[in-house]
Structure 1
């Protein structure tokens, strides 16, 4: 017989066996693995990205970046629709809050609002609203990932050009936020801007730069839309994970779900504990790009993927490039946040554009001639002058010379005499406004005739209310195509006498005078600033001050042509920024913005019977080997401005 001690041992073993078998069965059986299924109704994408679960419509929106298309999938009906977008790569789609069938999308480096019924193969309307990374050296950048924070503020980032698949130009991208007509740059030198997420108490933002190889955490201020104190909280290489972190979502437990590009997986991590990997879900596609929670209970994970060739490796569909639904994940997430589209004081539909010219290479220096009810403007490199009559809607043009024609304004007392700038020369021109060539060109003065200044040319110009011609110069381009700074000057031609007023100008451009005629406004394009001068009756200028700074006001592009309305507000063209910005020079407040259908507005003036219409020129200057597509270079009549301006002044010889 067993002794007492042996009996107790046998009883204990029996009890443990009983508990294990009856109450602890979960120890002996594996939990159900998540179920991964490819959505067969969705055809494989070349580069699927940006999944957004829209709770209102119970639909999944996403894009095919290389396919330049936006997509919609409705799980309840298993219906998939898509629309192709004209233009560049499309990397995000987000519904606009309170607007039926309106979506914010990206097209290359631009953000646009499209109208789409979710059924048609084409959108019915596309209106561009922003452009970023407009400097020539990064003009091949494009938007990549983007998402709205819980307040509806858009965060979106760019990546460098990718001349060969998989070979991205490094440290060329940035991370931006967009709200109330303001673009804020938060991070620069980004490789590939990707996943975004915010924690439940909105104190932390998580962000991925794929090239960095980590998921980073930032302190987040949702009221002001700022981030600070970035640090890595999960590094893929440290955890033995092959591939790059891509898109990302957060669940209601505060854990992050991260797509691993070139890794065949989605990983689940705890951002509150450094380098804590909680789970890994295998996906049948190598190039997993992004994730979003969805479904009626927000307990399904939708996964996008790609199948584009890198280093000669072809990835066959349908698994590669497929869109997946993962169920049984034992987690819930949040729906996508609709963008609160609030461009301050801008009604996208209120400005009416009518094209009045053929495309010009560099249309500029537009001038309203009240007596003739016509506008004059020039095409600089082709040395052409144009005249458009608003009553007859007829355009005439003439060749003026062989050098660049910077400007051409009427001379008082004559219907056929003009003052113009040809190369470095001030000249008088005779033209009847009808013939295809001018009848006479007479030199008044030639400037900057010595040394390196011989490569300069005249550029911005305008006649002031006293009949004086103000005109400035700019330097030549360097080997990279950038204008050499500090080579230009500003001159005044008064009754045939030429006076130099300012030196060391980058690109002399817009000019305007206030109603009292005691202030002059001047633009040096390379400085990104509009300056104000005191001006005397005799034409002496002094006390230069800065009244508007493009960079400080987050205005994209560079300042160019300028005009003033009868309320004293200035209207300035943002070349490479797609806008004309109206602002108050007394306090620098932005009052209105006109968004153009092309990127390079150059000059603007008031005109029409009541001087309440704007006439604006644009250009199609080549940037990084690319000429902007149509309608670049056209001249526009813009109505519904809500104000009026002044007629163009004539030169008094």
Structure 2
């Protein structure tokens, strides 16, 4: 699948004025500068502020204009108050102009049409469902449950077929698929976790690839990251111009005080993690997160500039990380404790949909949110290229 051409860079300056650029947590912290974090003319700003502060009337007018501009360029709204147990894995199907997402613990897949919100479609599954991925056939999606990956028809509201199953030696009780999605070349990559993975001594997860046969609903699972290489694999995204994928690991005990990790992993032409001659993954840490203070890195998506947008579960926020500078460049504060994942949608891919869980409470907890920011756009979701229904 061809990569989408990137649009001119989004400065994230005006709406992000209250969120200064912040260095990653493993680097010496810098004092945040006043005003927009990436403002390039600090002396002019100081002079302007001195002038404004001498005139109370002008100061009031200035603050009013700033508030009006912020309200115009940035918005956050609750679009579905589902009170879901654990909403996750949002993906926008541009062919249908609909958002598909799951309630993991509620064992449901939802299809949401923003133009007719009351026509929400729900499909119940027999097990918790960790992720959904688009296929070549609209309204047919892959779904990862405890051990099985299945093909689900959203119109028929039924499982069509089993696609793949994990080996018994990779665990059964307490395990389930977590996050995952098809990469740009159509190969589905997804992680699997244990319910104890978010503890220092918990069982560790794995990451798989799914290869589909050309004419049958049957796939082959291949492990691409071992328990020694990941603990709680979570959100992922690709930048094929750089030849990398990004992977959130919510809890890597090896990093002690900052166990939340964003990995950058070199991939092959299929978007699958690659290894060097010594069979080691070619990866680096993009960003470290103090889970106890900031929340755990959960689902992610990339915008058209290659920046990473990720939800911080238990942190009441999403952040945008620039993987080139390894810095946080924007933040979305939420009125709920547990945002879980995000995906770009809408006709122009300029709406960021955010899922959440009911845990932690707050108005809109367990609901679907929509965030817009002037100039912000995402990329089209990929789909598995070789699924065919019989």
For residues 206 and 157 of structure 1, do their structure 2 counterparts lie closer, same or farther at Cα, with a shift above 3 Å needed? same
Higher strand share: 1
Offset, 1:250? 0.6
Q: Which residue number corresponds to residue 199 of structure 1?
A: 239
1:73 and 2:125 correspond: no
Distance 1:111 1:102 in 2: 13
Distance 1:286 1:338, change over 3 A: same
Equivalent residues in 2 for 1:220-619, closer than 5 Å: 220-223=267-270, 225-227=272-274, 228-237=281-290, 242-274=294-326, 276-308=327-359, 315-316=360-361, 318-342=363-387, 349=390
Counterpart residue number, 2:6: none
1:85 to 124, 127, 143: 124
Deviation at 1:193, TM superposition (A): 1.7
Q: Is the 8 A contact 1:161 1:169 kept in 2?
A: no
Unmatched segments (≥5 aa) in structure 2? 1-43, 53-57, 213-218, 253-259, 275-280
For residues 11-22 of structure 1, the aligned pairs below 5 Å read: none
Tell me: CA distance 1:67–1:261, structure 2 relative to 1, closer, same or farther (3 Å). same
- Tell me which of the two structures has the higher relative contact order, counting C-alpha pairs closer than 8 angstroms and 6 or more residues apart: 2
**Is the contact between residue 102 and residue 116 of structure 1 (CA under 8 Å) also seen in structure 2?**
yes
TM-score by length of 1: 0.44
Residues 248, 291 of structure 1: 8 Å contact kept = yes
Instruction: Tell whether the 8 Å contact from 2:316 to 2:333 is kept in structure 1 after alignment.
Output: yes
Shift of 1:146: 0.6
| Match of residue 178 from structure 1 | 210
1:59-97 CA-partner distances (Å, limit 9, x unpaired): 100000000000011112223523343421111122311
Q: Per the alignment, do residues 171 and 150 of structure 1 end up closer, same or farther by CA in structure 2, a change over 3 Å counting?
A: same
Shift, 1:223, TM fit: 3.6
Alpha-carbon RMSD: 3.1
Asked if structure 1 preserves the Cα contact closer than 8 Å seen for 2:184 and 2:270, the reply is no
Equivalent residue, structure 1, for 2:152: 114
Counterpart in the other structure of 1:210: 250
Number of matched pairs: 313
Shift of 1:253: 1.2
Larger radius of gyration: 1
Q: Quick one: structure 1 residues 103 and 280, their matched pair in 2 at CA, closer, same or farther if it must change by over 3 Å?
A: same
- Considering fraction of residues, name the structure with more helix: 2
Tell me by how many angstroms 1:221 deviates. Answer: 1.3
Label 1:302 to 1:115 Cα distance change in 2 as closer, same or farther (>3 A): same
Taking the aligned partners of 2:211 and 2:186, their CA distance within structure 1 comes to: 9
Q: Say if 2:67 is the partner of 1:32.
A: no
User: Quick one: structure 1 residues 153 and 79, their matched pair in 2 at CA, closer, same or farther if it must change by over 3 Å?
Assistant: farther
Cα distance in 1 for partners of 2:196, 2:386 equals: 30
Spell out, residue by residue over 1:477-535, the C-alpha distance to the aligned partner (whole angstroms, 9 max, x if none): xxxxxxxxxxxxxxxxxxxxxxxxxxxxxxxxxxxxxxxxxxxxxxxxxxxxxxxxxxx
Q: Which residue of 2 aligns with 1:559?
A: none
Taking structure 2 as the reference length, the TM-score comes to 0.72
Distance 2:95 2:200 in 1: 37
In the TM superposition, what is the alpha-carbon distance from 1:151 to its structure 2 partner?
1.2
